[in-house]
Structure 1
Amino acid sequence: LDALDQMPRSALHIVMEATGKWHRAVQRSLHADGFYVSVVDPLRARLFAKACGFLAKTDRLDARLLAIMGEALKPAQTPPQDQALEALQELVNARSAANGERTALSNRMKTAVTAFLRKELTRRLAALDTHIARLDAEIERSIGAEPEMRRRLDILISIPGVG
């Protein structure tokens, strides 16, 4: 460990699996501290482990195999995603989930027979519509606050059939 302490941080190559939003804070912190960080697809890491003959899956084994993978494949550095874009993706994912929920409730409404259930579904659909409208407004506000995102959106909506 003393030898590691004396190495420049940029000489240390850290390989981690993408874990949705869970790896992002660690990646951002390590990158800010000057480490060379590569984020790899978990499927790619699993296939690499399988190709090396390792079928067991433990945290210790995963860490060892990621180190071996980093040494063998030398995956490119993965800079952290822009925080504004990350926040926008979270809003868009929430909107997508709300739309899916709205579709499911609408489908249930079509088959509901009892007046009570129809009333409850109508109430929930109205609440979801309000929620989706608030998400839309926040997405618009987020895009408007970032000139580069606004520019990209303007390009997209200028394309016939998109928007």
Structure 2
Amino acid sequence: MDIITYQDFHHIRLSDFYAGADIREIDNYEFMGEQWIGELSGFNTCLRLISNPDETRAISLDFTKDDAGLAEKALSVLQLPLKRSCTERDLAALFGEPQKKLRLAKDTMTLDYIIGENCSYYLSCTLHHINGLMYLDMIHEDKVIRKMKGKEKKKVMEE
């Protein structure tokens, strides 16, 4: 599956999809064990590592309050063929079995994947059993990807 190139991903800003008054710049934002800077609007973020402030490395999208269509627009640019109403079965058809599956509550679960052939990304999708996609994180950060791949190796070695 072809998805967005690293070069294009690194240039994305939240303001590319949304011009609301609630968008704000953030500093020293902790996420996935790293310190970030970037843009935030509600639970939607475009983040750049403090150590590499010119390149977007993490994008989080909130589908629960997407009145302005920000998340839908972002999916198109990211070249992710996901729909707001997607199910666990839809994700499996696109990405295969998840690297990790976590049931957060009886009606929600998070599925984590490593996606992309030429460009690899960590993709985390939180699904509601009725409403579908609630939240999505897409990250190009080598430490996160290595950590996920390491968990897979440990899992295989334990079996």
Normalized per residue, the structure richer in helix is 1
Is TM more than 0.5 here?
no
Structure label with greater radius of gyration: 1
What TM-score do you get using the length of structure 2 for normalisation? 0.24
What TM-score do you get using the length of structure 1 for normalisation? 0.23
